[in-house]
Structures are given as C-alpha cells and as structure tokens.
Structure 1
Amino acid sequence: MPGGDCRMNMDRYRIGSDDKLRLKDYDPEDTAGFKDKDEVQEKFEDLLDRLAEQQDRLFASRSNGVLVVLQGMDCSGKDGVIKKVFGGINPGGFRAYSFKKPTEEESAHDFLWRTHKDVPAKGYIAAFNRSYYEEVLITRVHGHVSDKEARRRLKQIRHFEEMLTTQNVLVVKLFLHISPEFQLEKIRDRMENPEKLWKFDPTDLQERQYWKEYTSAYEDAIRRTATDGSPWHIVPSNNRWFRNYLVLRLLVEELEKLGLEYPKPELDLSAFPIEESSLEKIDAEKETNSSSRPLLA
C-alpha cells in the first residue's frame, strides 16, 4: 500500500455480532498505509475540529450520552488517548474515569455498580480508562471467578450495554492492541526515565507472565459482547500517532452518524428587538478593548 488514504476501510477494525475474532490476525504495527505522523497531522487536526463541533451539538441538544470504553494490556496507551483525543474539547462536557482495584465498598455491590453510576448523562461524553470489563478479565485470569461465572457476567454486560443503547447512550468500545515486545519496551522506558518512573508498577512485569491468558480472556469477552448496536473496534497501538488518529476518526464518525442538531429556539425572537444603536455601541466597545489588549508573550 503506497500511502494512507482518507477513504480507508474502517470496517476492518470493527467487530460486530457475527464476526469471528482472533487477535493474532490483527497487526499491532498496522498504520493503514500511512508512513508517519506527518502524513496524518493535517487530517488529525481537522478531526479535532469536527469532534469539538459534535461535542457542542451534543451538549446543546442533550439527546444522547456518549460512553467511550478503553481497554487494553498494560502500557497500551489508554491515558495517552484521553490526553491526545479529548484534550481539545470543552472540559465542561467531558469526564474521564480510571477504574483500579475495587474498594471495599465497591466490592460489596454488584460488579456493575461502581461504573454504572459514572455512565454519562445526555449531553456529555465520558471515557472509561478500564471499565466493568475488568470484572471478566483480571478476575478470570487469576481464577477469582470461574469460566461459568465469567460467561454469565459477559451476558449481563451485553444486556447492560443494550439497555444503555436503548436509552440513547452511544457506547464506543475500543481495544488498544499492542505486542508483548512493545509493552516490554514501554516498561523499560518507565524504569529508566526519571520523568516516567512514577508510572512504573512492578505488577506490570508480573502480569506479563499471563499474556496468553489475557489474550484468550479478551477474545472471549469481545466475541460475546460485540453487537451491531455496540460493536468493538480493534485499534493497532504500537504506533501512538496512528492509535490516536484512528481512535479520533472512529469516534468522530460514530458521532456524526447520530445526526446531532442544534435545538430550534422555542421563543419568538421578534419579541426581543435590539436597537441598532445598541449594537453599534457594543461593536465600538469591542474595538476599544481589542486595541488595548496586551500582546501574547
């Protein structure tokens, strides 16, 4: 493939209800033919503008909520996606949540409780850095729940997401796909770089021993919860610039499918006349203020 194309087939990354999934069939180095960051930079900036517009329409219309579920192995870039993809939108309409080991209170409730309460209201976007899927991943890999219990929970998750969809919550599920070699490189970088050492967690090295088991658990979870109304997307993530571009593009396209519109005014604006002299006064004040504004250093 000579170069990336804005018309690239996005369905290749989509997992629906009838799709068979084997993660080994997806290359974490895939960049859809783009050679480097420079090739997508202009497209990325355009997509950021489109995302900001869609968020504005979403917040104004209050017709839908948007839940972005970010899953992936340790070091796959969940924090990076939140920073790069959502950094340019209005923070007033966005929330990011990171779900670590459940607290004692959270463990005393059903496994969906701690995440359900943070599902976004209509008009808002929320990103989950890990999610309720951890209750069928790490718990299954380490034998805290049986395979039978894990399958039961996956069925409940599927029903939960179907309920959210019927309540006009768009659920965008993203698996950030990396290789074990890439993960080791990132762990080593964290250990050797003083500015990144704070990110290092010894358990990351321990969990690497279970790569095969995690892969199997992820494949089963994705297969059992991928639906046409709430599909999964496999995001090749060894190249951070492509990961961010693809996530942003997927999200923008899903939002634009909603056909969000600004609400029509319920008031008769002709009942609120503004005198022409008042507008001229406002324009004059703006000109005065702009001329006296200090230059950006």
Structure 2
Amino acid sequence: MKFIFINTILYFVLIHSVKAQTGNLQIYCKPGVNIYVNDQYKGKTNADMSGLLLENISAKDINIRAVCTGCITQNIIIKIEEGKTIELKIDVEKEKFTYERITGVAFHFGTFGLFNVNNVFTKADYSAGFTPFFDIKFHPYFAVGFEVMSIWGKPQTNDAARLMVNPNFRIRTIFSPVNNINIDILIASGLAFWPKKSGEAFLTPTFNEQRIGWDFRAAAGAEFLFTKKIALMLNFGYWASSSTSDNIVWITHDSMILSLGPVIRF
C-alpha cells in the first residue's frame, strides 16, 4: 500500500509539473487556414472556434505559420507562458499575383491512332513526336501560349512515317489541390502543315504531297514541382491533325497521346 501511495503522489506531481510548463494559444483567423507550430501541422481554422485553439503547448517562443491557397504565408514568433492562454489574431492577405513565363518541351507517344482518308480508316503503327511551348500565366489559374507540335505518324501500310507540324495557340487551366502538384487542363488548336516527302504513297496517292489544314488537341494531367521554377509534366489526351492537298483529298490522323517533359518557370 505504501508503494502504491508513493507512486500516486509522484504521478500527480509529474502531471502538475508538465502542465505548469505548458500554456494554450487561441488563434483568431478566418476559416480554412492551415496552422503550423514549429513546422508541425496542428490543424485548420474553423468558424465554430473563430479560428483554432491549441492546448498544452510548451512554454517558450514558438513559430506560428499560417498557410492558405492564394494567400501570403504568415510567419509569427510568439511567446507561450505557463498556465496562460495567449490570444493571437492573424489577418491573412490575398497573394498579389504577378504573371509568370512558362516554357518547356513535351515528348509524345500516341496509342490507338487512325488515319482517315475520306472516311476509310487505317490503323497507325505508332505516333510519336515532341512539342516545345511557351506560356504566359496571367492569372493564378489560367495561362495562354503558343506551341509547335511535331508528330510522326506511321500507318499500317508500306508508307514511311509521315511528319505533321502543328503550330497552335493554347490555353491552360492550372490549379494546386496539394503542395508541389499542379493539375493541368490544356486545349490547343491551330494549323496543320504536312511537308512534302519523296517516295511512293500506299495509303492514298496524295499521301506524300504537301498538305495544309487544321489540328486540335485536348489533354489533362499534372505537374510535379521539384522547385518553384522546375517541374515535370505528365498528361494524357486526344489529338487530331487534318489536311488536304491540291487534289482536295482530306486525310486526318488522330490518336490518344501520352505526354511527358520538363517545365521551367521564370
């Protein structure tokens, strides 16, 4: 009994000592702001508490970081006192957006491609190519730009791969649901230019003639940010390039396209 009594006393002394070395912090802030204490995530502010209550924090100077999408990150040093509840009001400000220039190159590989000659379809062995691009991000969620998409498509005939050059205007929607990942939706359209090439044509007699038309592509994917300026882009979408020659024979090549490549912001 004596042993149990002594242990009980020591337990209450220890608990009292720990509590005496801590304090509380009541943060007043708009809802939806993520709060970090010394780089450790503590929770998100909410309307019910007019912010967030943090209890049993070590009585010492701590760093409070308030983070939310589209806001300027706030870093505040505050002293926690033993046995007291310290109040802190944080006013988050909207981040002032300055336009970004974005450049990069996407490497493409097509699957399930088709060549359509006046509604007669021939499967493609492959479609592959690359696209250098330049965008201006003029809004936190939107960017416009220009690209030159060069694709080689090989029909399942004796024809060699056909080069298709597609200078396009493009628009992108970009948003960041989690840190270091951007979700990207792209729509691009413009001209199609199929340079003249030598050799016998098997798909159709005018296949190797110089051809001009239009193209379109749409894709969705993600950017994985290594730093604020360097990222890796990965997306999947649909692309079509349609052209005609002097003989007014329309040929369209379309394909599902997987794209991968580096992105640089400056």
Structure having the larger proportion of residues in strand: 2
Structure with greater Cα Rg: 2
Bigger RCO (CA 8 Å, 6+ sep): 1
TM-score range, shorter chain: under 0.3
